[in-house]
Amino acid sequence: MSKVAVFGAGSWGTAFSVILADAGNDVTMWARREEVAAAINDTHENPDYHPGTELPHNISATHDIEKAAYGADLVVLAAPSQTLRKNLTDWAPFLPKDVPLVSLMKGVELGTLERMSEVIAHVTGAGPDRIAVVSGPNLSKEIIRREPAAGVVACADEDVAKTIQARVHSPAFRPYTSTDVVGCEIGGAYKNVVAISTGMAAGMGFGDNTQASLITRGLAETARLAVQLGANPMTLMGLAGLGDLAATCSSPLSRNRTFGEKLGQGMTTADILASSHQVAEGAKSSHSLRELAAKVGVDVPLAQYVDDVVSGAKTVGEILDEMLERPTKAETE
């Protein structure tokens, strides 16, 4: 049985470990806290993120980086996007050489404005033929319940994408391949921002028309930025674009939509963060995506408005007025 090392024992890292285990891999998870690793080994359960769900017996966990990485022929990275660089700097010396590195993160790094695959490349020295990303409509609580789902494995090297595809194809998870890493990453990062805006609308009491309008205009923004960065526009029509966007914007399981709902109800970012230990990636990616778009000359009003509310610069009422007063354009602009 082939070994996969999964670095990160949060909600999505745990759920993806189940996919890998069900696909026939021997999985070792690295957990930041020793007590989480012990619970996974002793009770076959992750009590912090998926209490009550039994994990397959071919999943084990450790707090020891070297032990997690030893003998792995595939490495999966599942850290929060804004801490990936720091985490990966610690992990990199122990990672096996020349094995594929798979990113589960959906974000753009603050400051550097780098996508997660770029962070991985800079920290590890890995080339594009070793770095892959997994994206799609993959809410972790549904994945771990083994509800049918699909996703995309993207890598510049199509053969590597196909190899990883075979390793993650489980009875409940159907992976497709792509060579458009940029499109998959921008789609995955941007949908979190759009989900916050949709949640804000719901929190303010607005219905389906408002939310559908935000989702659609959010997709247009996503496509404008992704294409400017070199992505294939068709990627944004697929699982890593529209599929991920639909799930994240509409599901009550979505952390980003829930974050937006609370903003729409009048809570501050500080209040929301204090009430939950789970990360809404869009809260920080709204700023980095806004800056990235400005850098390449792309108009992204939705990211701008979300960033303004998240940062406390403006209220939801103020940005609503600004949105409605914006000049209208052709739909394709």
Binding residues for NAD(+): 8-13, 255
CA distance 174 to 201: 32
What is the C-alpha radius of gyration for the chain, rounded to an integer number of angstroms? 19
Three-state SS at 31: coil
Using the structure block, give the residue that is written with the tokens 């939310």. 211
Q: Is 191 a catalytic residue?
A: yes
Binding residues, by number, are: 8-13, 32-33, 49, 106, 136, 140, 191, 244, 254-256, 279, 281
Which residue out of 191, 284, 295, 329 is catalytically annotated?
191
Angle at 262 between CA 302 and CA 259, to 5 degrees: 60
DSSP state of 51: T
Using the structure block, give the residue that is written with the tokens 């941007």. 190
Other C-beta atoms lying within 10 Å of the C-beta of residue 233: 13
Question: By the 8 A CB rule, do 213 and 226 touch?
Answer: no
Beta bridge partner(s), residue 102: 76, 132
DSSP string, 260-308: HHHHHTT--HHHHHHT-SS--THHHHHHHHHHHHHHHT---HHHHHHHH
Buried b (16+ CB within 10 A) or exposed e, 246-285: ebbbbbeebbbbbbbbbbbeebebeebeeeeeebbbbbbb
Binding residues for substrate, by number, are: 106, 255-256
CA distance 6 to 103: 10
Using the structure block, give the residue that is written with the tokens 């979190």. 192
The residues annotated as belonging to the active site are 191
